[in-house]
Amino acid sequence: MAATNDLSKGAQTAEDVLTRFYAAERVYMASPAEKRDFTDLAHTLSPDVHIHQSPDMPYGGEYKGHEGFLKWSEAMATCFDRMEVSDRQVLHNGNEVVVTSTLRIRVRKSGEELVDPLIQWVKVDRDAGTIKEIRPFYWNVRGINEALGRGMYGQ
């Protein structure tokens, strides 16, 4: 997959779509539960968005639609109060994107910070400016589970 700039009239770049998503996600994750507002984040997502989370993660599973995304993001925000995706390298071919990046997360209960590589395979709808599918690949699943007080497989 090569980096391309083949834009249709009116279409956003894949990177534009992702930048809006990451900004909204960062604000949502940092908010206390009683103040989280899904509105801005929802505007970056297709109504039929599909998230595939590793079964080894504390919030592993398949999440579909805005309701599913909200369920996943609530589970993740319960674990972490800071999440930042930085040093992004976006490789795209139309609406399919691979993002290599650095993930910085802070455990909500302990304040422990983890910084590791993250790769995401993302499908976007550039015309709508939304994300349709996300499949993240975490570098340090064991470290995340240990920081959350879980064994490797949730034990």
How far apart are the C-alpha atoms of 112 and 131, rounded to whole Å?
Answer: 30
Specify the pTM.
0.80
Task: Please count the residues of the chain.
Answer: 155
How far apart are the C-alpha atoms of 123 and 49, rounded to whole Å?
Answer: 9
Q: What is the pLDDT of residues 125-155, one digit of tens each?
A: 999 999 999 999 999 999 999 999 986 554 5
44 CB neighbour count, 10 Å cutoff: 21
- Per-residue pLDDT, averaged over 109-123, amounts to 96
Helices 14-30 + 65-79 axis angle, to 10: 50
Strand partners, 104: 84, 115
- Cα distances from 93 to residues 5, 54, 89, 122, in angstroms, run 8, 24, 13, 11
pLDDT of residue 123: 96
Is pLDDT at 1 greater than 50 in this prediction?
no
pLDDT of residue 2: 43
Q: Please name each of the domains of the chain with its CATH number.
A: 14-147 (3.10.450.50)
Cβ-Cβ contacts under 8 Å for 4 (sequence gap 6 or more): 92, 93, 94
Of all residues in the chain, what percent carry a pLDDT higher than 70? 90
